[in-house]
Structures are given as structure tokens and as C-alpha cells.
Amino acid sequence: MKSSYGPSETPCPLCGSSEATLVSETSYAEIWSHLHGEWGASISEAVKTAHTLEPLVKLQSCRKCQLQYFSPVIPGSSLFYSELTSSCAHYYTDHKWEFEYVRNILQRNHRVLDVACGKGAFLRSIRDSVGAAIGIDTNPDAVSNGNEANLHIHKQSVEEFSVAHGEEFNLVSAFQVIEHLGSVMPFVLAAYRCVKPGGLLVLSVPNRARSKDLSFGSLDYPPHHISRWAEDQLSMIAEKLNAELVSIAKEPLNQSQTIGALRVKELPELLPLKFAGRDFVMKVISRLVLTFPMSLVWRNLNMSDRLSMYGMSMIAIIRKPIAERTNLTQSSQPMAIAGS
């Protein structure tokens, strides 16, 4: 990594600063190859050419907000996503940790908007337990599939939708969206505009500080992902909205992932010396840690947090003040989520 900052060809997607430091470089040829190898993605040569500005793309760290982002880059076009989602059978998933997390804070009378909802997995999981579950997406294939399942999904951008639907929803969610965007705040402001005063904006992103064994894959690079996020950048969004940051939560590792993280990262650091049977010893220790009664000690000491052993996702809950002004300049004391 370079020690000094310099001008970036691309401004930061979050704060707009053009001062950044180089983190790493990756070839687009490698990205396209891995997309096909990992996901079976069939991306046409025309789409590849349209998104490959230079042979190498740089991952940079913004001097002002520390968001990591790629440059030079063109965010994935609608044609890119159409080819990606139609050729990758497992691109859309019905089960995400953040879906369950958000379901636990919903109430029966809530109106919910899911932005960039895909085929509507989250909407299906909540439609029988809330007053209204509406989705919007710009991918025509996803919208068509969602509506075939009798979901209420509109083919619109959030900027277009927010013009006629300001302050209509108790909760507006955008799961794994903002890391795809070349400019984050216009999208966030439009989604926030749809939230009722006292309601919640929910944003989830991939956690760049996730466990080492959950390493970055081809979808973590452009044109799919444009940026990589940590807690501080989600906090900055709440500050820019002049809203209350209720919480930031990180996806926990399941048992098998915890065992893997111990074997790949933590135990090798504790046992740096090579000796006969070292791998077997680490395998046994990693399994014993989560076996009763050691598992009680592990949980009581919050060892997953102490060792920063987190899963793939991170979620921010942001509350819109009751006395909200249209110019977003007035804040208020924390309030309960607004009713319908």
C-alpha cells in the first residue's frame, strides 16, 4: 500500500472526495474469468468491453471517509445484471441473515418497502405478517418473476418511486445495494424520502471486516461491487441524513464457519511454529472450543466479537426524526417506530 495520498480518477461514491490511497490492483481479465469459474456467469464480450475501462482496476481507500472503492470503474449496467442473473442460478437467495434480523422488528400494521428487491424473497417472508409489503426493482426479469408469485413489485428506480410515495412507509429496506452504486447518497436520500417520520431506513452491505476464511470472491469486484464497507461508513450515512443511528449489527458466524475461522486465522497465529501434527492439533482445538462446556465460556466472554469473527453481512438501522424537515437539517430525540 502506498503511504501517501493522491488524486483519484474516480471520486469516492460516499463522500465525493478525490483523495485516496492505493490498496491493491486487479486485472479485469481475472475478474471475468473468476465470475465464470465461481458462478458460471455467461457475460457477453460486448458487456465485458463496455465495463473494462483499463486492463487493471484499483482498489482505493478514501482519505476523508475511509470507504474502499474501485477506480476507474463503470457500475454494472442493466444488461450486465440481466446476463449475470439469468446465467447464475444461485444469484438470488431466499435466505439471508438480515431478512430474519429485520423481520424481528416489524409490526402487524407496518407498511414496508423493499428497494432493489430482486425476485422478492424478503417480501415473501413478511407479506403475511405486515400491513403492506411493496417492492421496486429495475431488473425486468426479477420484477416479472416476482409478480408471477403474486408479489407487489414495481419496475422503477427508487428516485422515480419516491416522487409519488414520500413518507408512506414505516420501514424501507435496501439489502446489499449501495455497494453496487457509483454514487451512494442520491439513492439513500430517495429511499429515506419514502420513510415516515419516526420510521426506519434499513441498509445492509457486505462486511469487509468479515472473517478471513470468508474471503473476497469475484462478486466483490467491479462491475458487480464498486465499494467495500465498514461500520464507520454506515455511521456517516446517518450523519449525512441528520438521522438517528439506532444500531449496527454484524452477521454472526455459524458453528462450522467459526471452526473454519479458528483453523484458518486464529489458531495459526497462536501456534506460529511448525511441528509434526500441528494441523491435527488445530483441528481438534477448533472443534473443542464449541463443545460443551467450553462453548459456554466462549459465549460468555463474547469471543467472536473479541476476535472480530463475523459473517458476510452488516446492517444499519437508521430512524427518521419525527419532526423531519424536507431539507434534512433538523434532528430529534429517539422515538419509537411510527405506526401506520
Query: What is the C-alpha to C-alpha distance for residues 272 and 274, in angstroms, rounded to an integer?
Result: 7
Tell me the one-letter amino acid at 41.
Answer: A
Q: Which residue has the higher pLDDT, 127 or 336?
A: 127
219 with 39: CB under 8 angstroms? yes
Q: Which residue has the higher pLDDT, 309 or 325?
A: 309
Extended strands (E) in the chain:
6-7, 19-27, 56-62, 68-71, 111-115, 132-137, 152-155, 169-175, 195-206, 227-228, 244-252, 310-319
Q: What is the chain's mean pLDDT, rounded?
A: 85
**154 CB neighbour count, 10 Å cutoff:** 18
Give the pLDDT confidence of 176-194 residue by residue, as tens digits: 999 999 999 999 999 999 9
Q: Which residue has the higher pLDDT, 249 or 325?
A: 249
Query: What is the C-alpha to C-alpha distance for residues 298 and 12, in angstroms, rounded to an integer?
Result: 39
Domains and CATH numbers, the chain: 6-87 (no CATH), 97-245 (3.40.50.150), 255-306 (no CATH)
**151 CB neighbour count, 10 Å cutoff:** 20
Kindly state the greatest CA–CA separation across the chain: 68
Give the pLDDT confidence of 137-161 residue by residue, as tens digits: 988 877 776 666 678 899 999 999 9
- Look at the alpha carbons of 280, 283, 284, 286 in this order and tell me if their dihedral is positive or negative: positive
Q: Is the pLDDT assigned to residue 255 strictly greater than 60?
A: yes
Q: What pLDDT score does 329 carry?
A: 39
Q: What pLDDT score does 1 carry?
A: 35
- Rg of the chain (C-alpha set): 21
Strand, coil or helix: 202:
strand
- Residue 244 sits at the vertex; the CA angle it makes with 238 and 247, to the nearest 5 degrees, is 85
Residue 82 burial class via C-beta count within 10 angstroms: exposed 0-12, middle 13-18, buried 19 and up: middle
Report the 3 state secondary structure along 63-111.
CCCCCEEEECCCCCCHHHHHHHHHHCCCCCCCCCHHHHHHHCCCCCCCE
The three cell numbers of residue 6 are 493522491
**214 CB neighbour count, 10 Å cutoff:** 19
End-to-end CA distance of the chain: 51
202 with 145: CB under 8 angstroms? no
Bridge-based pairing of strands 68-71 and 152-155 is unpaired
53 with 74: CB under 8 angstroms? yes
Owner of C-alpha cell 473468476: 34
Q: Which residue has the higher pLDDT, 182 or 213?
A: 182
Give the pLDDT confidence of 19-49 residue by residue, as tens digits: 999 999 999 999 999 999 999 999 999 999 9
Categorise residue 150: left if φ over 0, alpha if ψ from -120 to 50, beta otherwise.
Answer: left
